[in-house]
Chain A
Amino acid sequence: MTVHTQVICTLCGCACDDLEITTENGRIVKAKFACSNAYERLTCFQQVRSYNPVITVNGQRREASLEAALSKAAEILAAAKYPLLYGWSNTSSEAIRVGIELAEELGGVIDSTSSVCHGPGIEAAHEVGESTCTLGEVRDRADLIIYWGCNPTQAHMRHMSRYSSHSKGRYREGRKDRKVIMVDVRNSLSSRTADQLIQLTAGKDFEFINALRLAIRDEALEADEVAGVPSEKIEELADLMVNCEFGIIFFGVGLTHSSGRDENVAAAISLVRDLNMRTKFLIMPMRGHHNVTGTNKVMTWQTGYPFAVDFSHGYPRYNPGETSAVDLLSRGECDAALIVASDPIAHMPHQAAKKLSEIPMVLLEPIPSATGLLADVHIPVAVVGIECTGTIYRMDGVPLLTKKLIDPPKNCHPDTEVLSDLLKRVKRLKGAS
């Protein structure tokens, strides 16, 4: 029996790195300090995971050798004119680096799940920038915390106690030293921990943010209410923001998914920027998957662009709406796909998922998924942070090197190895040197 300490969790963007995992005979038997989401994952995945590659021919799914699976996968990709390489948010940055080289070699598109998650926030950053920090700054200094369009008690369970409202910092004793506001269209469970819930009309975040921008400049609001919130309340919130010592807005997909999308985030970033004329104020997206931030970082340093990178002209091109996965698939532009560490059949709108299901598809994924039901080649891989090591990036950009706790099953290898193998085979098939 081995007790692994300071283990980095590879579930959500919190990347809590204080987990204590006990392993015995190659199985996880105990997971201390893990939130209930992570606990579920750590204790379940070994029961449900896939062990052997599967090749589907004429609708018949058959187990295959790794060699056969890699060979077929390489064939599919090398034969494609415009393949989509999608997912990446649940694997290491080392794997993503190989993925980008593969996409460049194939002349295809590489896109991460950020295009259906926080992509609009990144698009906003292109326009207006972003004023942010690492999580320790919030823990130590923040006396006003606003959670906007997110649900931390459910989606980022230890965020509040480790990094934000309920954490203890160098200059803040804890919850009582902070004012906590929830801004959302719904009264979620998280709002019960807040001092105040501001409930907006759905789809009206943009209007509300702009009203706030006026209010923080002491401009009078002509309307009686904006987005369903009375103007007095808006002015009160503005006062709170202007008079705090250090404020932060954590925002979730409530902003990026609803109508307005990138404009919502651009408005929120602009509000925060405006506040910096009067006090210290920052903003941070609540990134979902443990390495979705990593996908943007790696793609940006290698290609200049954070996601939806097209190599069809031999150099990186970027235009969300044109080169992003849902759009490419909806328009039926891609003729093959490599899906890594994600489940687009489950998470994309069904018209896009339908188009994806119609093209030859290779999947690298450890556990059964909707995409797995439709993949032509499914290669199960080692789980990063449990069965293999790899670098991940926390939601605030802090890099962490995850640990290997147990050996993966015999036929399951790290994504880096599988992708490197695929790259070699593809180069050979395409006759490149």
Chain B
Amino acid sequence: MAELLIKNGAVYDPANRVEGDITDIAIRDGTIVESVGSGAQIIDAASMLVMAGGVDIHAHIAGAKVNAGRLMRPEDHFRDFEAKTSAARSGVGHSVPSIFTTGYRYARMGYTTVFEPATPPLETRHTHEELNDLPMLDTGCFPLFGNNSMIMEYLAAGKLEECAGYVAWMLHATKGYALKIVNPGGVEAWGWGKNVTDYDEQVPRYNITPREIVRGLCKVNKMLRLPHTIHLHPNNLGKPGNYETSIETLDSVRDLAEGKRSIHLTHIQFTGYGGRNWQSVSSEAPEIAKYVNTHDHVTLDMGQIIFTSTTTMTADGPFQFLLHTMSGNKWMNTDVEAETGSGIVPFVYKRSNSAHAVMWAIGLEAALLITDPWKIYLTTDHPNAGPFTEYPRIIAWLMSNKARSRVIAKLPRNARKRINLETVDRELTLSEIATMTRAATADALSLTKKGHLGVGADADVAVYPFKPREVDPSAEYKKVRRAFRRAALVVKAGEIVVKDGEVIKSFSGRTYWAKPHIEADVLEQVATELKSKFKKYYTVEFENYPISEDYLDHAFAVQGA
């Protein structure tokens, strides 16, 4: 394969402690190497910013729920479309883009790896069909486990080993990467039109609480030595006062960490609310930050609000119904037998709305008040808080107090009283941004060859059109924003795929899945037991449930630690 040399770039590679050094990146056969020969193709990065390709740990881009969102929102597509080119397929979509457009838009921003964070196991074959079509990116998906009937029954009966065996079988069957938990117990309750609101409340008809589900799956995660921690969307999402549930949830698995990480709490903005109702809702990001700064077993991602029209979609069926009743917007819902659910509601976040203004501040406060960027990642929980195409805007806010102040000045006065952002003048550095958007996320996923530019790493490289030595990101945040919108060059697996913000070559990436640590004979025993009771839980046959590795166009199994 060809050799490539990216010369003279200002490299930010926090995993290898490179902070803006003018260095060359040598690539051969899709991998970063020490050096290349004289025949290598040379790209002069001319002091421009060079980072590893972006790694997005949480964006709803593929699967049954996302697709239902696309179907419900033709109006979202009418106003935003892209014509076919010689290198790219056509597509549509502002907040719920079609699959080709999704890949291209990420690539243009210099992202090269994106994970779908919530797939219903029974329908994960659909997710993989979409991920097979997703261009430009390496990917993977997190199957949903927090409302699974069999898991709840195993844990209620104290059968941890059997539970672990079942989860292992499910990871093989779904080719999933991590254990996703959404509103544990609450979505099963929603199967009867109900919800759970307390971490220690009994799930209807089951002898188990959300706390027990989370702790049980945390233990299973460790037993199976999975490459990522449990990935959690806690109970009471979107409810004023819910920051207490967040902290309670984080603390509930502290003792299980044993010096390592034990939990990733996702889109903290949606679960960092103080106040008692929507009139008094306030930011409790400082409390969250205090906890995270003093506890090393947790990681979070922002779920940052963008003031725009977007689409909310989560597996949190009861919350989504509540959002529909509050907003009056149309509502899609799908409950999945024995496993989970989902809900979709279009939504507009308005700067002039006090509650939305408070929500907007929370994500930024979390990112700025948490001191260690290896613990908090940049996301919008796409598309829930906003489309992923707005990441550059968030980067600008994080790097520039001036950029933030301009927005704050336009927020409703009574909202400004309930946030803390005005007192925060920290401005993140490029190193910290590189951490939050690639190095740390790759690390959280144990993708050792991603998110950095050391020798041996996958040759996923992004060159952004601005020169760090000549631009002050704080003052010139618009330049920063523009640069991150359109990469000057993107290399994926050693091939140049984007030039000057345009896709010049299509690429089909890997689908990562996690191979759990479990003895083969144990797995076989699990399968035998499962076969005998499968029909009780499902309307499909045991034999037709699992997805084989060759169903994925480019499967890549990752063994746990």
> Which A positions have Cβ atoms within 8 angstroms of B?
5-6, 8, 17-18, 93, 97, 101, 104, 122, 125-137, 139-141, 162-163, 170-171, 245-246, 273, 276-277, 279-280, 282, 296-298, 300-306, 311, 313-316, 318, 391, 393, 397-401, 432-433
Contacts and interface: CB of A to CB of B under 8 A. Distances in A.
B81 A136 contact: no
Contact of B334 (A132, A277, A311): A132
Interface stretch (B209-217, B399-407, B467-475, B534-542): B534-542
Contacts of A128: 330-331
Contacts of B337: 133-137, 139-140
Contact of B332 (A6, A129, A297): A129
B97 A135 contact: no
A297 B67 contact: yes
Nearest to A279: B193
B86 A137 contact: no
B83 interface: yes
Contact of B129 (A6, A93, A137, A170): A93
Contacts of A301: 62, 66-67, 70, 98-99, 129-130, 133
Contacts of B544: 6, 8, 17, 400-401
A382 B272 CA distance: 56
A134 B86 contact: no
Interface string B88-128: 01111100111110000000000000000000001101100
A245 B193 CA distance: 9
Contacts of B321: 276
Main secondary structure of the interface of A (DSSP, over half): mixed
Residue from B62, B77, B82 with most neighbouring chain A CB atoms (10 Å): B77
Contact of A398 (B123, B331, B333): B123
A163 B336 CA distance: 14
A136 B89 CA distance: 37
A433 B86 contact: yes
Given A134-B334, A136-B338, A315-B91, A398 B122 contact: yes
Interface in B280-327: 321, 324-325
A246 B192 contact: yes
Contacts of A393: 126
Contacts of A280: 191-193
A11 to B, nearest CB: 16
B74 interface: yes
A401 B125 contact: yes
B344 interface: yes
B411 to A, nearest CB: 31
Nearest to B124: A399
A397 B192 contact: no
Contact of B72 (A8, A126, A245, A311): A126
B389 to A, nearest CB: 15
A408 B215 CA distance: 52
Residue from A246, A305, A432 with most neighbouring chain B CB atoms (10 Å): A305
B64 interface: yes
Contacts of B331: 128-129, 131, 273
A177 B338 CA distance: 20
A18 B90 contact: no
Given A129-B72, A397-B334, A304 B541 contact: no
Contacts of A318: 74, 77
Interface string B42-73: 00000000000000000000101011001111
Contacts of A162: 539
A302 B100 contact: yes
A397 B333 CA distance: 13
A141 B192 contact: yes
B278 interface: no
A6 B542 CA distance: 9
Interface in B526-561: 536-544, 547, 551
Interface of B: 62, 64, 66-67, 70-75, 77, 81-84, 86, 89-93, 96-100, 122-123, 125-126, 129-130, 133, 191-193, 205, 321, 324-325, 330-338, 344-345, 536-544, 547, 551
Contact of B335 (A97, A133, A171, A279): A133
Contacts of A141: 191-192
Contacts of A130: 72, 332-333
A8 B193 CA distance: 32
A330 to B, nearest CB: 23
A237 B77 CA distance: 39
Contact of A6 (B97, B122, B541): B541
B188 to A, nearest CB: 11
B98 A303 contact: yes
Contacts of B129: 93, 298, 301, 391, 399
29 contacts: A104-B84, A125-B72, A129-B330, A129-B331, A132-B335, A133-B334, A136-B338, A141-B192, A171-B205, A246-B192, A276-B193, A279-B193, A280-B192, A280-B193, A300-B70, A301-B66, A301-B99, A301-B133, A304-B81, A304-B92, A304-B96, A304-B97, A305-B74, A314-B83, A316-B77, A316-B90, A316-B91, A318-B74, A397-B126
Main secondary structure of the interface of B (DSSP, over half): mixed
Contacts of B551: 401
B485 to A, nearest CB: 21
Contacts of A398: 122-123, 539-540
Given A162-B539, A397-B64, A305 B72 contact: no
B540 A397 contact: no
Given A246-B192, A306-B71, A132 B62 contact: no
A7 B330 CA distance: 38
Nearest to A140: B337
Nearest to B61: A301
A399 B541 contact: no
Nearest to B81: A315
Contacts of A399: 123, 125-126, 129
A311 B67 CA distance: 20
Given A301-B67, A304-B97, A305-B77, A125 B193 contact: no
Given A18-B541, A300-B70, A315-B81, A277 B130 contact: no
A131 B334 CA distance: 6
B532 to A, nearest CB: 15
Nearest to A432: B86
Given A133-B336, A401-B551, A304 B125 contact: no
A301 B123 CA distance: 15
B176 to A, nearest CB: 15
B332 A125 contact: yes
Nearest to A277: B325
Given A18-B541, A316-B81, A397-B126, A304 B193 contact: no
Given A134-B335, A136-B537, A316 B98 contact: yes
B445 to A, nearest CB: 24
B93 to A, nearest CB: 5
Contacts of B62: 301
B533 to A, nearest CB: 11
Given A126-B72, A128-B330, A301-B133, 11 more contacts: A104-B84, A104-B89, A126-B71, A129-B331, A134-B122, A134-B539, A141-B191, A246-B191, A301-B70, A302-B133, A398-B122
A315 B336 contact: no
Contacts of B325: 277
B219 to A, nearest CB: 26
B92 A303 contact: yes
B65 to A, nearest CB: 10
A204 B72 CA distance: 26
Contacts of A131: 331-333
Contact of A97 (B70, B73, B86, B133): B133
Nearest to B92: A304
A304 B72 contact: no
Residue from B71, B83, B338 with most neighbouring chain A CB atoms (10 Å): B71
A316 B92 contact: yes
Given A127-B330, A393-B126, A398-B123, A122 B539 contact: no
A315 B90 contact: yes
Contacts of B96: 304
